[in-house]
């Protein structure tokens, strides 16, 4: 296998860039859901386009957690990029730039967890929504090491949700 074929996300079919980014984002969502299931949680994809969350996790006792999943690839410099804490925006040539922006930062009204998936290797960063309030609208994955593969965060939030509701 050649070195270039070891890359996770690669556009072998030469699909138009904007479409490939959308496909790759869907793949990152599926990877995040699969990793959550492999961690022992019952997790399902929400198939509503442009919803505020991408997956729900059954934490028992009739309680669910809402998860927004964001893929993060490498930036133009070849370094691991930043995760966005916003939703509602769309990009691409087909977007009407004259329409008022609908971009918003995620809050506890929207989600319980933001999961960042490293598109280069499938590693997951489990970030409680309350931690987003400390930051702006993006943060480099390299600064979020405490959240990397930290599935105990998901257990902690699940336990708090069961206890508080």
Instruction: Tell me: pLDDT of 120 over 80.
Output: yes
135 vs 18 pLDDT, higher one: 135
Domain chopping of the chain, boundaries: 12-164
Residues 6+ away with beta carbon under 8 Å from 27: 9, 71
Q: What architecture does CATH give domain 12-164?
A: 3-Layer(aba) Sandwich (3.40)
Q: What is the pLDDT of residues 84-99, one digit of tens each?
A: 999 886 655 545 556 6
pLDDT value, residue 30: 95
Q: What is the pLDDT of residues 12-63, one digit of tens each?
A: 888 888 888 888 889 999 999 999 999 999 999 998 877 889 999 998 777 8
């Amino acid at each position: 296998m050649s070195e270039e074929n070891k890359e996770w996300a690669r556009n072998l079919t030469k699909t138009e860039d904007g479409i490939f980014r959308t496909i790759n984002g869907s793949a990152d969502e599926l990877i995040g859901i699969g990793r959550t299931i492999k961690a022992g949680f019952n997790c399902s994809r929400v198939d509503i386009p442009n919803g505020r969350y991408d997956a729900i996790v059954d934490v028992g006792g009739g309680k669910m957690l809402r998860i927004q999943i964001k893929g993060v690839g490498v930036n133009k410099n070849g370094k691991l990029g930043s995760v966005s804490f916003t939703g509602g925006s769309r990009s691409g040539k087909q977007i009407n730039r004259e329409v008022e922006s609908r971009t918003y930062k995620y809050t506890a009204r929207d989600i319980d967890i933001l999961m960042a998936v490293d598109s280069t290797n499938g590693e997951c960063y489990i970030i409680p929504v309350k931690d987003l309030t400390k930051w702006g609208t993006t943060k480099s994955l390299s600064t979020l090491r405490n959240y990397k593969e930290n599935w105990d965060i998901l257990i902690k939030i699940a336990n708090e949700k069961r206890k508080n509701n």
